[in-house]
Amino acid sequence: MALASTRITARRGVPSPRRITLGTILCGTFLVLAPGLIAFAIVLTRNAADTMSDSMTGQWTAWTPSLGTTPVVDATATTATTPTHAPRTHQPVTIAYAISLIKCGDFQSSTEGMMDAAIVLQHSVHQTSVRAGKSAYDYKMYAIVHRDALHCSQPLADVGYERVVRDTPVNVSDIRDSALRKGVHRAWCCGADEFVKLYAYTIPEALVVHVDVDFVMVQPMDDLFDAMLYGDSAAVQRIPRERPNDPWPTNPQAAMTRDWGQVMPGRKPGYQAGFLVVKPNQTVFEEIVNVILNDDYNPGYGRDCGWGSKGYGVFVGAMAMQGLLAYYYDIYQPNTWVELNQCRFNHMGMDVLYRSQPNFQARHAKRGMCRNDLDYCEDCQTTAMENIYNIHYTQCRKPWNCIGEGLSTNPDKSSIPEDSVILSHCMELQSVWHGHRRDLERALAARVGTEDNKRQKETASIVAGQAGDYKKEVFQGHCRGNGQTNYLALAGGQQQLLLRIPELYQ
Ligand SMILES: *[C@@H]1O[C@H](CO)[C@@H](O)[C@H](O)[C@H]1NC(C)=O
Ligand SMILES: *[C@@H]1O[C@H](CO)[C@@H](O)[C@H](O)[C@H]1NC(C)=O
């Protein structure tokens, strides 16, 4: 009997304290050190730390591991299948939905919450798929598991994820650039280990949707899949893009959103690493690994810092995926990928105008303007639910942390930051996750209820997980009060019940 704990990665977490020294500010051709810059850099660092408080790091207690009972994808299986026909007239094409499990560890967050997150994500994928009659596409759940996390990954396999076990794809001591080699271990979220996410490019399905575990699907993405796989021009017209006037790529390889919510005026945006749709491609995987190993990384806070001295630096996660992929796609693969509308896809409910933090000073000339560098942008703080394809729980907090208070009513660092999100909208987003969980609970109770002898005990533990009376219209019985210690886990986290979840999707 081994008790393991697990950490799944997401966009935010506990950053290591960053010291600002003369040496780190100097970069490339940027040589003038204005006092204002130093102040700005300090503001930036402080805000990065502030937005980290909705920490995604956590642990869950695994039940008795039964390693080896579930197939682990072979490390050499990397060929993508290329469909040759439209999905509606043939066997549905399978989309891979992948998460990454990077570390097992002892972190101070909700243990059951992390497991429930993976379960609810899977349920939301199912609910927007052909198996629920909502899409022409089928799905398969994958978990890219870092080899060091293999021993705590069994619970994911037990609820329906196929594990792809890998090592970090680069040996840090082989990184040519010394700043990157020495600094990458400090990068959000998990240093060079975050690069295991790149194995999404080697999953053998037609398309891979890689997401953080603090994520749910709301509407099917058939238009995007039809457009990317079959060049369906009517579908292209219907896809909400951030820059609708840009030409559609002739052979689109990827779709993503940029992290405009965190951009600094006049600087390059990162890519929002919680959501990535790609056509698997071994060559792309190798090219990106090659960038990590051989490209320059200019450290510091200047305009030309970061990857290739092209400005892909400074922001949270710049040395890891958020900066790397923005740099790779902008510089090496222009016009081969699609920037999706940041309010509709990977929706976070965050302010995307220059009105408040982070990384913006109220006196700046761009005050009130769109962070995306266009004259027009939607207000993601109020996007209507029927326009949202998927939700990423960041500023609006993790649904399993039962946060129902804003900073204005509860001045605690875990409270909802009402300077960048709207409390009522966050509550609406939270209720979507809890609604998916309620739906799963209904299905599970109906399933286990068919065995009369076990019926009472097992359905009772599901019902017990719905007995919380805190903001029931939002948390739907799953929370006893404000804060993560008040979370009631799905079926009380009971192994014998959770093991039956895959039966719901057959
Ligand atoms: C990484 O590379 C160094 C130098 O080439 C080597 O000594 C070390 O064994 C490698 N480590 C791993 C884990 O491959
Ligand atoms: C895979 O990526 C390479 C490099 O970007 C590209 O040239 C090639 O066309 C891609 N393959 C497919 C099947 O799209």
What integer pLDDT is reported at residue 450 of this predicted model?
60
* Nearest Cα to Cα of residue 402 among 432, 439, 430: 430
Among 114-118, 283-287, 342-346, 457-461, where is mean pLDDT lowest? 457-461
Q: Could you tell me the residue ranges of all domains in the chain?
A: 7-54+91-395, 402-506
pLDDT band at 80 (very low <50, low <70, confident <90, very high): very low
What integer pLDDT is reported at residue 104 of this predicted model?
82
Q: How far apart are the first and last CA of the chain?
A: 30
Distance in angstroms (rounded) separating the CA atoms of residues 439 and 132:
13
- Is the pLDDT at 129 greater than 80, yes or no? yes
Distance in angstroms (rounded) separating the CA atoms of residues 284 and 264:
29
Q: Is 171 in the pocket of ligand 1 (CB under 6 A)?
A: yes
pLDDT band at 51 (very low <50, low <70, confident <90, very high): very low
pLDDT band at 444 (very low <50, low <70, confident <90, very high): very high
Q: For residue 171, how far is its CA from the centre of ligand 1 (angstroms)?
A: 6
State which ligand 1 atom lies nearest to the alpha carbon of 172: 1
Secondary structure letter of residue 65 according to DSSP: -
- Is the pLDDT at 228 greater than 90, yes or no? yes
Assigned token pair, 21: 């020294």
Q: State the average pLDDT over residues 117-139.
A: 97
State which ligand 2 atom lies nearest to the alpha carbon of 282: 1
Instruction: Please give the distance of CA 238 from its chain centroid, rounded to a whole number.
Output: 24
Give residue for tokens 């993601």. 380
* Nearest Cα to Cα of residue 197 among 149, 157, 152: 149
pLDDT band at 90 (very low <50, low <70, confident <90, very high): low
* Ligand 2 binding pocket mutation candidate from 81, 207, 253, 329 (most atoms within 8 A of CB): 253
- Is the pLDDT at 44 greater than 90, yes or no? no
Q: For residue 252, how far is its CA from the centre of ligand 2 (angstroms)?
A: 10
The number of the ligand nearest the C-alpha atom of 172 reads 1
Going through 308-401 in order, the beta strands assigned E by DSSP cover 337-339, 390-392
Q: Is 174 in the pocket of ligand 1 (CB under 6 A)?
A: yes
State which ligand 1 atom lies nearest to the alpha carbon of 167: 13
pLDDT band at 454 (very low <50, low <70, confident <90, very high): low
Q: State the average pLDDT over residues 486-504.
A: 93
Q: For residue 173, how far is its CA from the centre of ligand 1 (angstroms)?
A: 6
Percent over 70 (pLDDT), the chain:
80
Q: Tens digits of per-residue pLDDT, 185-217? A: 888 778 899 999 999 999 999 999 999 999 999
Q: Tens digits of per-residue pLDDT, 319-345? A: 888 899 999 999 999 999 999 999 999
Neighbours of 167 (CB within 10 A): 14
How is 159-174 classified by DSSP, letter by letter? HTPEEEEE--SS-GGG
- Which residue's alpha carbon is nearest to atom 5 within ligand 2? 284
Collapsed DSSP state (helix, strand, coil) of residue 68: coil
* Nearest Cα to Cα of residue 206 among 225, 220, 184, 188: 225
Going through 12-130 in order, the beta strands assigned E by DSSP cover 72-73, 94-103
- Is the pLDDT at 61 greater than 50, yes or no? no
Distance in angstroms (rounded) separating the CA atoms of residues 349 and 340:
15
Among 8-22, 330-344, 422-436, where is mean pLDDT lowest? 8-22
Going through 111-199 in order, the beta strands assigned E by DSSP cover 138-146, 162-166
C-alpha pair distances (Å), 313 with each of 13, 175, 297, 326? 18, 17, 8, 10
Q: Is 290 in the pocket of ligand 1 (CB under 6 A)?
A: no
